[in-house]
Chains A and B, each alone.
Chain A
Amino acid sequence: MTENHPTTTTKTRTLAGHQLAETSSHLLEVRDLSVTFPQPGGSVTAVRGVSYHVDKGEFLGIVGESGSGKSVSSLAVMGLLPSSAKVSGDILFEGTSLLGRSDKELSRLRGDGISIIFQDPLSALTPVYTIGAQIAEALRLHDRRLSKQAANVRAVELLKVVGIPNPERRAQAFPHEFSGGMRQRAMIAIAIANNPRLIIADEPTTALDVTIQAQILEVLQKAKDMTGAAVVLITHDLGVVAGNADRIAVMYAGRIVETGTVDQVFHQPSMPYTIGLLRSMPNLATAGHTRLVPLEGRPPQLSNLAPGCPFAPRCPVVIDACRTTEPPLTLIGTDPLNSSACLRVAEIASGALDRGHLYPVPEPVIAAERADVASENVLAVEALKRHFPLSRGSIFKQTIGMVRAVDGVDFEIKSGQTLGLVGESGCGKSTTIMEILELAKPQSGCVTINGVDVATLSAKERRTLRREIQVVFQDPMASLDPRLPVQDIVAEPLTVHGIPARERLQKVRDVLDLVGLDPSMASRYPHEFSGGQRQRIGIARALVTDPKIVVLDEPVSALDVSIQAGVINLLQDLQEKLGLSYLFVAHDLAVVRQIADTVAVMYLGRIVESGPAEQIFENPQHPYTLALLSAVPVPDPTVERSRTRIILEGDLPSPTEDINGCNFRTRCPLYKLMDAAGQVRCRSEDPIQRPVEGSRVACHHAEYIDLMTTTV
């Protein structure tokens, strides 16, 4: 410190540098970004003036429905938009602009400075290279001096970091040999390979099951902590960001409509859209007690936006000014990070407009309209089995294994009741309902509908019985024939039963009215309807024969969050008006909690726990149920932070595997806590269902379930 002069110069230089960085002291800053795609029928502006920033080590969640522009805006950051897209505004990463840079320069930055994790890890990984080679490629691209061996060693280390068992061997595996969750882990390994300063995760868990989603979010958090990188998590699921993100930006129709810290957005939302979204989501903490509040209408088309606030047509507190001027993002209080794009933000923030009563709660069906149903079993399934032989060879087939898709399932549905069948993908839910819907003699076991064993039916009786049991499929677009007008689609079940054309048409109009669609739209084609409307058409088709039982195969999982609530409410109303029985198959536990009276939890072709919904959700007795419930993210940051998660290890085993004893023990957290004698029992003895505290549980040690919550 003797030489004073040089120090001052350095100081001034850093000051000058700081001055420069003052223009953007953030790690990433997006300023007034707009993205337009030219289209033959007029250009579509997918992003309309989005500004946000991310600081070092920050976790930003961007939430929006499909088509809100959330993915496009982050692809713009990566420079991965197609060349036809017109981008305006500015994107600054570490103070320098990314727009207008050549692909080569951006390539150097991608992976090294910014890396991205895509939604579908199967299409994001090259199928012809091993996982290890792909990670090594990412490493060597940015560090040419790294030798091949060193890169491979590092790749194995990275796989270990993201929690892939046996990383040395797994590095030699190809993407198709990995399960969905493992592929996403591998993607995260590639993303963090070069210690990026920013990780963009675009719906990283949407394609995954809840238990795997919980694992991946944990890995993502770990990766963030290890590399110190900032994370931008793009999702449609408010629950996913509640527990992890620091700040949230809510997007609607190509703009950010509300931004703030997690607590601000979840506890004091001030944009009616955010409020509506939060109220319309079924959530494990509140579901089943209150009716959902639907967010009416549909997101606007970006190709020809009307002037004014894009949310105005759906907004319950719309005023005339909303229709003429689009509100800018304005500060709500004094916090510079908390702002909202609503003209009435002051009224909402001050409480003059009550958040809780912004949206009218739909009235339940009045008692006079309710159908009275005698309590009887309408559908009973006993010891249903469906095994698919795995065979090899084309001419001389030899069986090399057995897929136990459904392996002894029992349940019954009473009239006017809903049974929720839940489980992860691959647990045999779909096979079970397909077996029931075939109305044929099952491989083994017995299906009884209205007291009639379907195995004994003649072809004619079977056709008559089809009137009684109808189905609604998951994807409303796939389940409606695109080449037929809606009236023909809905009338199709009637044509089977030889009902005259005039009567058919009248019936179609009646059911369309019943599901809340305008009967005058009957002559249109499915593609002219929105997702929610299409699902209503699907429901109308199921109801047109006046069935007693409706099988609902994930009826809302393909719909946007804001639309789900309307369909769930409709299903509940219809059940009460018509006295229907539902077999409701879903993987979303919150939705099941909302609608089901009784619940059966499936795992690997078996029902591991069944009982009244209340009991299963409040007081689960099987370790799998407990873990499943704990994996569901709750859209409430305070709840998310305080609760402990039980994270299941590994993936769902393949149903071809022969597991001795209890088939859940390979992942069971309770199994690890048991003493040696208990473990032996799990290994050797297949648990049968037995009543424990009001539900039927297939676990030897259900009484010790509390061990899981106390020790974790």
Chain B
Amino acid sequence: MSMLDEVPIGDIAAGSPETSHSKKPVSRLRLVVSRLRSTPRFWVGIIGLVAIILWAIFGLVPNAWNATDLDVYNMGSRPTGLHWFGTSDIGEDIYAQTIVGLRKSLIIGLLVGPLAAIIAGVVGAVAGYLGGWWDRAIVWVIDLLLVLPSLFLFILLSPIFKSLSWVALIFLLSGFGWMIMARVIRAQTRSLRERDFIKAARFMGVDTWTIIRRHVLPNVSSLLIIDATLGVGGAILSETTLSFFGFGIQAPDVSLGTLLTAGQGAAATRPWLFIFPAAILVFTVLSASLVGDALRDAVDPTSGVNRD
């Protein structure tokens, strides 16, 4: 009888939200925010993320050491009152290094996520809206980028990037992080294109770019926001991976990835070298993903928890 159940439930779900909030007009944004607020995941994620960011900004203030300072009297020390996370073989303060590394990783993550989402939005909307040869060419490029192993490309391109500053890494990472979302946006746009309001705009003589800017992009914006948020965690992970293998951030810059590389040899004997950066990394990525996840559920009423 499940086939009979499907209809009434769908009906009610479709009908009642409208009846519940059209009397007292609740904007979509307010609805999303109120749904977000009732998700524990969102609170865990956002508090974690805000704490991490605040820590990255102000964490060095109470610490006596800078990231470049060498404490020659305490080389390879375990965590103490003087060096909260211990020191490395040459006497660097791990606490200070972790914070500096975290700053870099966070900046990269927070820039790459949105940048990739913007590329995905523009490319996907153009391909989906224009259709025809444009669509075919763009999809071909997307598919090509998807089948190429991106790590391999990073490694190939890394000599070029090594000569540039770490900022180039931001563009490299976003350049390889937009394809899947672009395909989603393209599919969304194709269905939007058949909607009456887009047709209406076309029959009014509104030109293509204005339609994409005014009608298509705002209507896929919720997807893009989610993608940008989820992308933050992913970007931090990719950056760390690259840096771990020595292709990302180069000395003297530090990131969580380079710290992990430095600490990996000593992970068994002097675990503080490895565990603190690793724990911070896991915590950051987890927080960002939780926020993105909660956002997706709040924006899309048919996904996850909101389903009956």
* Binding between chains A and B: yes
Quick one: given A493-B204, A527-B22, are A82 and B15 in contact (CB under 8 Å)?
Answer: no
Quick one: given A437-B203, A463-B205, A478-B195, are A126 and B23 in contact (CB under 8 Å)?
Answer: no
Stretch with Cβ within 8 A of B (4 or more), from A56-64, A383-391, A442-450, A479-487: A479-487
Chain A residues within 8 Å of B26, by CB = 41
Quick one: given A39-B16, A124-B4, are A481 and B205 in contact (CB under 8 Å)?
Answer: no
Question: Does B81 sit within 8 A of A, measured CB to CB?
Answer: no
B205:A82 contact, CB within 8 angstroms: no
Residues of B1-43 at the interface with A, using a CB-CB cut-off of 8 Å, are 1, 3-9, 11-12, 15-23, 25-28, 34-35, 38
Chain A residues within 8 Å of B34, by CB = 40
Residues of B206-223 at the interface with A, using a CB-CB cut-off of 8 Å, are 206-207, 210, 214-215, 218-219, 221
A473:B196 contact, CB within 8 angstroms: yes
Interface string of A100-113 (1 = CB under 8 A from B): 00000001001000
Complex CA gap A80/B19 in Å reads 21
A303:B4 contact, CB within 8 angstroms: no
Chain B residues within 8 Å of A480, by CB = 197
Number of interface residues of A (CB under 8 A): 61
Complex CA gap A162/B35 in Å reads 48
A303:B8 contact, CB within 8 angstroms: no
Residue from B1, B12, B199 in contact with A72 in the complex, judged by beta carbons closer than 8 Å: B12
Question: Does B282 sit within 8 A of A, measured CB to CB?
Answer: no
> Which residue among B6, B19, B34, B308 has the maximum number of chain A CB atoms within 10 Å of its CB?
B19
A528:B7 contact, CB within 8 angstroms: no
- Size category of the binding interface on chain B: 35 or more
Tell me the minimal C-beta distance from A482 to chain B in angstroms: 7
Residue from A80, A528, A541 in contact with B200 in the complex, judged by beta carbons closer than 8 Å: A541
B8:A84 contact, CB within 8 angstroms: no
Smallest CB gap from A35: residue in B: B12
B5:A80 contact, CB within 8 angstroms: yes
Quick one: given A80-B4, A492-B206, A496-B205, are A474 and B19 in contact (CB under 8 Å)?
Answer: no
Question: Does A475 sit within 8 A of B, measured CB to CB?
Answer: yes
Complex CA gap A481/B196 in Å reads 9
Question: Does A18 sit within 8 A of B, measured CB to CB?
Answer: no
Question: Does A411 sit within 8 A of B, measured CB to CB?
Answer: no
Complex CA gap A629/B252 in Å reads 85
Residue from B7, B25, B200, B206 in contact with A123 in the complex, judged by beta carbons closer than 8 Å: B7
Complex CA gap A527/B3 in Å reads 31
Quick one: given A71-B11, A301-B22, A496-B206, are A525 and B27 in contact (CB under 8 Å)?
Answer: yes
Residues of B249-308 at the interface with A, using a CB-CB cut-off of 8 Å, are 308
Complex CA gap A110/B1 in Å reads 9
Question: Does A641 sit within 8 A of B, measured CB to CB?
Answer: no
Smallest CB gap from A464: residue in B: B205
Interface string of A118-156 (1 = CB under 8 A from B): 111001111000000000000000000000000000000
Tell me the minimal C-beta distance from B95 to chain A in angstroms: 44
Residue from A123, A301, A463, A473 in contact with B6 in the complex, judged by beta carbons closer than 8 Å: A123
B8:A466 contact, CB within 8 angstroms: no
A67:B4 contact, CB within 8 angstroms: no
Residue from A116, A120, A466 in contact with B204 in the complex, judged by beta carbons closer than 8 Å: A466
Complex CA gap A525/B27 in Å reads 8
A124:B7 contact, CB within 8 angstroms: yes
Question: Does A302 sit within 8 A of B, measured CB to CB?
Answer: yes
Chain A residues within 8 Å of B9, by CB = 82
Interface string of A640-652 (1 = CB under 8 A from B): 0000000000000
Question: Does A37 sit within 8 A of B, measured CB to CB?
Answer: yes
Complex CA gap A71/B11 in Å reads 10
Tell me the minimal C-beta distance from B169 to chain A in angstroms: 35
B7:A118 contact, CB within 8 angstroms: yes
Interface string of A524-548 (1 = CB under 8 A from B): 1101101000000000010000000
Smallest CB gap from B1: residue in A: A107
Of all A-B residue pairs in the complex, the 10 with the closest CB atoms, nearest first, are A479-B196, A301-B23, A466-B205, A483-B218, A528-B25, A473-B196, A493-B204, A478-B196, A481-B197, A496-B205
| A/B interface sample: 6 pairs, CB < 8 A | A42-B20, A80-B8, A123-B7, A125-B3, A462-B205, A473-B196
- B contacts, CB < 8 Å to A: 1, 3-9, 11-12, 15-23, 25-28, 34-35, 38, 195-197, 199-201, 203-207, 210, 214-215, 218-219, 221, 308
